[in-house]
Amino acid sequence: MTANSVFANVSANVIALFARLVTAVRAIWDGVEPVPSKRVYFANHTSNGDFVLIWAVLPPSIRRRTRPVAGSDYWLTSKLKTFIGRDVFNAVLIDRNPESREDDPIAQMAEALDGGSSLILFPEGTRNTGDDPLLPFKTGLYHLASQRPDVDLVPVWIENLNQVMPKGEILPIPLICTVRFGEALRLEAGEIKDAFLERSHAALLALKDCGDAA
């Protein structure tokens, strides 16, 4: 193990511990168990810390093989961000600009799954800063499910993190957060794109409703 990989591993543990301390986050596994099978965790997106919180609540053995999908246009803009994105989180870095990209994002994600990794994905495609609880999904989740229909897709609802890390703020505000994992789903035989996206969107919103009713 190289010095760089040791430092990356230590940094990962420190970041996970810090996230848990600041948010007192609790994970709720509702209809699904934290087992080390290959999965795509798809979640709502309201904060730059979303994937960190999901990553932090996963058991260490699962965390080590779970990779967030993130924009290279953000994570490759400085040496520090590159180190964190590539070495600490081992992110699947995709170019979100269709005009400049050289690699197919779906192929990149499928390759990561084929290599034994699980993924953290935000199907809204961008941070939701509006009043709607969940933006419409982009088509990426459907195309990935079409290419790898045997992989479980696990909805994940993150509660309160947008209050901990409001847009434009540098320092987090300590608040209790919840990460709720729901029952896994897969693309059904013959299911068309719009129907699948509507079903997966509804599955994610249902987790929010579970939290609101608690």
Answer yes or no: pTM beyond 0.75: yes
**Which of the following CATH numbers is that of domain 3-213: 3.40.1130.10, 3.30.420.40, 3.40.50.2300, 3.90.220.20?**
3.40.1130.10
pLDDT reported for residue 93 = 95
DSSP symbols for 87-133:
IIS--EEE---TTT--S-HHHHHHHHHHTT-EEEE-TT-S---SSSS
**pLDDT at site 87:** 93
Please state, rounded to an integer, the average pLDDT across all residues of the chain. 88
**Among candidates 164, 159, 140, 145, which has minimal Cα distance to 204?**
159
Res 63 pLDDT > 60: yes
Burial grade of 99 (CB within 10 A; 0-12, 13-18, 19 or more): exposed
Express as a percent the part of the chain with pLDDT over 90: 57
What are the domain boundaries of the chain? 3-213
| pLDDT value at residue 175 | 63
Q: Write the pLDDT tens digit of every residue in 97-154.
A: 888 888 999 999 999 999 999 999 999 988 888 888 999 999 999 999 999 999 999 9
pLDDT band at 1 (very low <50, low <70, confident <90, very high): low
